[in-house]
Structure 1
């Protein structure tokens, strides 16, 4: 009886120790920017928005001659199918970039904008408009459907619209409520479309090298995926029967402890 009691107490202590250590998360696995010194001269704050297929461009042209710009600032309205009258307030016409990277712009016709930066598109339009159509045009371009997605082991996964078209991977994770304690911070995947192909990057938020990563600044439609760690993956695979067996085991250990006192 004494031998059984000793073995039971030993088993309980080992079980509690294992439970304690498996529930602890090492500080080195959760603290951001703790490793690797970087050359600050390589850290850049510059960022260019690259136009891609499926972007919805809002292009506004202004000039001293208000009449001259009217044909290039079309309004979009919705018409009733019964009365054939306009519904709601007219809004600025947006231009969808097709799979070939082109838009159909008023008067000028088709323009190849895919793969160009915002500044490149502005210069392209200025060359097309001046001086034949408009003198000294001012052109503003924004992407009306600029968004990024954060999925995986974060508090608020989802897609987020970015009105200023500039966001870092750190800011994106902050929008999603930060990574859960069970999420892997050293192997984050960013999926991006480049030249019609899906490209994947891996980044480590525990390292300062994230600041010089090509995906530090996200682009429209980027997807950030945070993978759960091994313990979280294993726990997710447990079914209801596993939980039941654990409960039964706990009850049996308690009964054995009481009976062997």
Structure 2
């Protein structure tokens, strides 16, 4: 009996460790450039581009209704229509007056500087100011979290921990030591495994998420076992219901 108690105690300790974050005693966060990395524009990105200058009337023609509109869902389940410049399958946007401009593969800063340079070189505006923002900067969180959802990120910057917080955190049945992060780079989807029971995430290039990242939290063995056990009882329950129905009909 005492052996059983010891095994149960050790097992419970192991389960508590797997259900908590950052089990190491100290955290050493090194200064790196990951936080400052600007996302690279990709096909199907939806951008808001506004142009202003010291002559608002002259800049007005560059702020015509954007060329693409789409529906966007919020975490509350509401749906709104957003308008912007879609990076098409050729990797380009169509901008008023300036025409086709290659965008895919560039940062927002590079695209902003290119548009500004064209406006100045063609003498279309004096001291133009170009602002570019994502309209579909979003991440998806699936699996064993309280609220699986697609989350729009208005400030274009979010960490993995913040994203999990917005999804209501990982449930007690979710594995914190083997989270999958799916990220598309150059048209290729790559799956990275992340262990949140250690402190390594703080120095990881995956600490900050990128647009269209997908996070999947897989169930732990307890959830899988409970599901299997429940399924094994289904035939017994159905048989019991059938016998009850037969008994009622026979009365």
Bin of the TM-score, shorter chain as denominator length: 0.7 to 0.9
Question: Partner residue of 1:184?
Answer: 175
Partner of 1:27: 16
Shift in Å, 1:141: 0.8
Q: Is the 8 A contact 2:138 2:151 kept in 1?
A: yes
Is the 2:182–2:191 contact (alpha carbons within 8 Å) kept by the matching residues of 1? yes
* Shift in CA distance, 44/50, structure 1 to aligned 2, threshold 3 Å: closer
> Does structure 2 conserve the Cα–Cα contact (< 8 Å) formed by 1:52 and 1:114?
yes
Structure of higher CA gyration radius: 1
Post-superposition Cα deviations, 1:121-158, rounded to whole Å, max 9, x if no partner, equal: 11111111113211211111111121111000011001
Tell me the TM-score normalised to structure 1 length. Answer: 0.75
State whether structure 2 residue 60 is matched by structure 1 residue 60: no
Say if 2:35 and 2:208, in contact at 8 Å, map to a contact too. no
Task: Name the Cα RMSD after superposition.
Answer: 3.1
Q: For 2:141, what is the secondary structure of its paired residue?
A: strand
Aligned length: 222
Distance 1:93 1:155 in 2: 31
Q: How far did residue 101 of structure 1 move?
A: 1.7
Distance 2:229 2:40 in 1: 44
TM-score between both structures, scaled by the size of structure 2: 0.77
**Superposed counterparts of 1:2-13, under 5 Å:** none
Match of 2:98 among 108, 113, 117: 108
- Any conservation in 1 of the 2:145–2:170 contact (CA below 8 Å)? yes
Show the 5 A alignment for 1:94-133: 94-132=84-122, 133=124
Asked if structure 1 preserves the Cα contact closer than 8 Å seen for 2:29 and 2:203, the reply is: no
Structure 1: gaps (5+ residues): 1-11, 78-90, 247-261
**Cα separation, 1, equivalents of 2:28 and 2:21:** 15
Shift of residue 212, structure 1, vs aligned partner: 1.9
Shift of 1:194: 0.5
Deviations 1:32-87 (A, max 9, x none): 1223754523475324132121111010000001122122101259xxxxxxxxxx
CA contact (8 A) 1:32 1:205 kept: yes
